[in-house]
Amino acid sequence: MAEPHVREAAELLAHARRVVVFTGAGISAESGVPTFRDALTGLWRRFDAQALATPEAFRDDPALVWGWYEWRRSRVSRAVPNAGHLAVAAIEARVPDSLVVTQNVDDLHERAGSVAPLHLHGSLFAPRCSVCARPAPYEVAQEPGDGRRVSPPRCARCAGPVRPGVVWFGEALPAAVLEAAIGAASGCDLLITVGTSGLVYPAAEIPQVAARLGARVIQVNPERTPLDAVADVNLRGPSAQLLPALVRAAWGGDDPALPGAGPSGAGG
Ligand code: BV8
Ligand code: ZN
């Protein structure tokens, strides 16, 4: 039997007609992908992620920054979507008017079956020329090892250095993507925010817009965050455990998209 908060959240989900699932690095943590704040393990520890994720850092030392993103891309390529990603895909399959809005630059939502998540901050899998913006193909990331510089490839058209296809601090988010995310948040009746510290703007506005315009908000996070203030229900714990529990409590345990679902009722 689900615990009370999960039951309360499941009531909201079972009756929701227009759902936005807003995710941050925490949803990928149980796939072994470091969250943004701890994305600097190994030799990367000596850098501040926020300082590395900037146009200035790339201009000053393109090989260091490209090496960091190649290291992250190789980590993501070896990771697999976890039960939290699968539960989000199950929600999308059940609620026709639903949308994933993610701050993550990994592809785990797509690999879990989410149809077209909006990437507010770009993707590790869309490098482009830093001069003419031509999309650049990427090889399967070699393991650049910890902290090794890797010189970025050169653009086939203008020979400019290729950059990661992410939004850095100080860069504008892709306008059409942000507009679509705000539009969905404005019109939804339920927003589920999962695994984000809610500190980076303007992305952190999304759950606040939904709450301001009357949506109910469920938060899934082991820690307190500024989004506690707008959440109707706080599910305190890991998303790979709580999201499947939420989906099972809302629609019963036989959701084929959920791991351990099915007649045996395995997975509790
Ligand atoms: C911009 C891609 C202007 C790169 C990222 C007010 C308004 C507008 C801007 C600002 C503002 N105030 C300040 C700013 C500037 C800045 C900003 O917000 N700074 C912060 C630090 C205060 N914003 C910007 O620069 C943005 N651009 O404003 O441009 C502009 C306009 C016009 C023209 C020119 C310029 C751009 C911000 C985008 C930066 N790029 N990512 C990359 O990945 O390398 S941000 C990056 O950090 C993530 O994408 C994410 O958005 C953000 C925070 O990460 P989270 O996903 O929340 O992860 P985090 O590690 O922080 O937390 C993990 C959470 O998971 C924790 O809560 C933890 O408890 C939880 N967790 C852990 N395990 C689990 C779990 N949860 C569930 N289950 C688990 N198992
Ligand atoms: Zn170019």
Whether 128 and 206 map to the same domain: the answer is: no
Q: Provide the Cα torsion 207, 212, 215, 221; round to 10°.
A: 30
Q: Average pLDDT for consecutive 10-residue bins of the chain (268 residues)?
A: 86 98 97 79 68 95 94 92 98 97 98 96 97 88 65 96 97 98 98 96 98 98 96 98 97 67 42
CATH number where 132 lies: 3.30.1600.10
Whether 235 and 193 map to the same domain: the answer is: yes
What is the DSSP code string of 170-236? TSPPPHHHHHHHHHHHHH-SEEEEES--S-STTTTHHHHHHHHTT-EEEEE-SS--GGGGG-SEEE-
Q: Provide the Cα torsion 263, 80, 111, 98; round to 10°.
A: 70
Whether 219 and 148 map to the same domain: the answer is: no
- Does 171 sit in the ligand 1 pocket, CB within 6 Å? yes
User: In the prediction, which pLDDT does 183 show?
Assistant: 98
Nearest CA, atom 65, ligand 1: 26
Burial class (CB in 10 A: 0-12, 13-18, 19+), 42: exposed
- Does 44 sit in the ligand 1 pocket, CB within 6 Å? no
Atom of ligand 1 nearest to the CA of 49: 44
Whether 191 and 99 map to the same domain: the answer is: yes
Give the end of a domain, one of 166, 196, 226: 166
Length of the chain: 268
Strands (E), the chain: 18-23, 97-102, 118-119, 122-129, 162-166, 190-194, 216-220, 233-235
Pocket test for ligand 1, best of 73, 169, 209 (most atoms within 8 A of CB): 169
Pocket test for ligand 1, best of 82, 201, 205 (most atoms within 8 A of CB): 201
Tokens of 222: 């082991």
CATH number where 179 lies: 3.40.50.1220
The ligand minimizing its distance to the Cα of 126 is 1
**8 A C-beta contact, residue 94 and residue 77:** no
> What is the CA(71)–ligand 2 centre distance, in A?
23
Nearest-angstrom CA–CA distance, 199 and 104: 14
Whether 265 and 243 map to the same domain: the answer is: yes
**8 A C-beta contact, residue 247 and residue 266:** no
Whether 93 and 159 map to the same domain: the answer is: no
User: In the prediction, which pLDDT does 189 show?
Assistant: 98
Nearest-angstrom CA–CA distance, 232 and 238: 18
Whether 88 and 220 map to the same domain: the answer is: yes
Whether 155 and 182 map to the same domain: the answer is: no
> What is the CA(199)–ligand 1 centre distance, in A?
6
Whether 194 and 232 map to the same domain: the answer is: yes
User: In the prediction, which pLDDT does 268 show?
Assistant: 32
- Does 172 sit in the ligand 1 pocket, CB within 6 Å? yes
**8 A C-beta contact, residue 220 and residue 23:** no
Domains: count for the chain: 2
User: In the prediction, which pLDDT does 95 show?
Assistant: 97
Nearest-angstrom CA–CA distance, 17 and 189: 7
User: In the prediction, which pLDDT does 35 show?
Assistant: 85
Whether 136 and 222 map to the same domain: the answer is: no
Nearest-angstrom CA–CA distance, 29 and 97: 27
Maximum Cα interatomic distance, the chain, rounded to a whole number of Å: 61
Whether 233 and 158 map to the same domain: the answer is: no
| Range of the structural domain that residue 265 is part of | 1-32+80-121+173-268
> What is the CA(168)–ligand 1 centre distance, in A?
9
> What is the CA(260)–ligand 1 centre distance, in A?
33
Whether 2 and 131 map to the same domain: the answer is: no
